[in-house]
Amino acid sequence: MRSIKQPGAPIAERTQWVEARGRAFSFTLPAGLPLLEAARRGFAAEGFTSGVLSFRRGALGPFGYVMPALSKTGENAAFYSDTFRPAGVTRTRLGSMTLGMRDGAPFFHCHGLWTEADGGDSGGHMLPDETVVAEPFEVEAFGLDGAMFTAEPDPETNFKLFGPVAAESTGAPTTSRAFALRLRPNQDFAGSLEEFCRAHGMMRARIHGGVGSTIGARFTHGGVTEPFATEVAVTAGLIAPGHSGALEAALDVALIDYTGGLAEGRLIRGDNPVLMTMELVLEALD
């Protein structure tokens, strides 16, 4: 399997996880608010401070983002581009967000694909402090009670990354057993989730959110992304028994690579290792 050498030593536990409770809900992001504050308010209205969300068509402006890029210093296995600030209103095609805390304040990690006002298609990593909701749009969310995504220094990748930590219950109403996860580098995305579900007695689980990176990508429709540095948004995911009865993860994703190449589709199981991180929530369906 493909692998990329990271600057730090690998940590023994390859999946960071916290069991919690959670609930799916939807809300509308109001125009004129920073995307971070709009998301925070939507979660807070339901009693949550952390969770994940996804969206399709939305409108952003002003808007700031970065794309994946090669590392100029060698201090990281890959890095970010300079900041892009497209003029006018950018129309999102899809996006996935992790909402949590960084340095004691709300923060998000959000990847997506979009069309800019000049008609150009692009994607990447949205900047919380430079992105504003231009027109109201609806998002699908999943709030966590008993766990929270918190950004902490990660010596393996030399980045400050979101990972789940245990949190006090807020008493928000919940409906489901849920697990907040972070997958560490150089392990297969699908295989890691299948192994996790087996270990925790889940025969069916749905993915909510899903933000991270893979080492290129191999798709079931035959498409291949060769450039190794990507920004990935999960658009749908289910882990359930396949024809053989063994658990199989069906992972639909969209990505941009460091050359600006865009790709969408279902990932081949066993051939799509994590580059830096993959954050998501698993909701137990059994």
Q: Please tell me the predicted confidence (pLDDT) of residue 182.
A: 98
Q: Answer yes or no: do 120 and 229 share one domain.
A: no
Q: What is the dihedral of CA 245, 178, 219, 13, to 10 degrees?
A: -90
SS3 83: coil
CATH of the domain at 125: 3.30.1330.80
State the Cα–Cα distance between residues 62 and 46, nearest whole angstrom: 27
Domain presence at residue 227:
yes
* β partners of residue 95: 55, 112
- Of 94, 120, 143, which residue constitutes the final position of a domain? 143
Q: Answer yes or no: do 214 and 123 share one domain.
A: no
Residues 110, 111, 113: CA angle, nearest 5 degrees: 140
Domain presence at residue 254:
yes
Q: Answer yes or no: do 205 and 91 share one domain.
A: no
What is the residue range of 247's domain? Answer: 177-284
Percent of the chain with pLDDT over 90: 99
> What does the pLDDT look like over 237-285, one tens digit per residue?
999 999 999 999 999 999 999 999 999 999 999 999 999 999 999 999 9
- Tally of structural domains, the chain: 2
Q: Answer yes or no: do 105 and 205 share one domain.
A: no
Q: Please tell me the predicted confidence (pLDDT) of residue 47.
A: 98
State the pLDDT confidence band at 205, using cuts at 50, 70 and 90: very high
Q: Which amino acid is located at 148 in the chain?
A: M
State the Cα–Cα distance between residues 93 and 235, nearest whole angstrom: 11
> What does the pLDDT look like over 46-79, one tens digit per residue?
999 999 999 999 999 999 999 999 999 999 999 9
Domain presence at residue 193:
yes
> What does the pLDDT look like over 172-188, one tens digit per residue?
999 999 999 999 999 99
- pTM (2 d.p.): 0.97
Q: What is the mean pLDDT of residues 198-225?
A: 98
Q: Please tell me the predicted confidence (pLDDT) of residue 40.
A: 98
Mean pLDDT, rounded, of the chain:
98
Domain presence at residue 12:
no
State the Cα–Cα distance between residues 137 and 57, nearest whole angstrom: 7
Q: Answer yes or no: do 99 and 188 share one domain.
A: no
Whether 31 and 60 have beta carbons less than 8 Å apart is answered as no
**CB atoms < 10 A from the CB of 259, how many?**
12
Domain presence at residue 156:
no
* β partners of residue 100: 107
Q: How many CA atoms lie within 13 A of 11 on its CB side?
A: 16
Q: Answer yes or no: do 31 and 113 share one domain.
A: yes
State the Cα–Cα distance between residues 278 and 207, nearest whole angstrom: 12
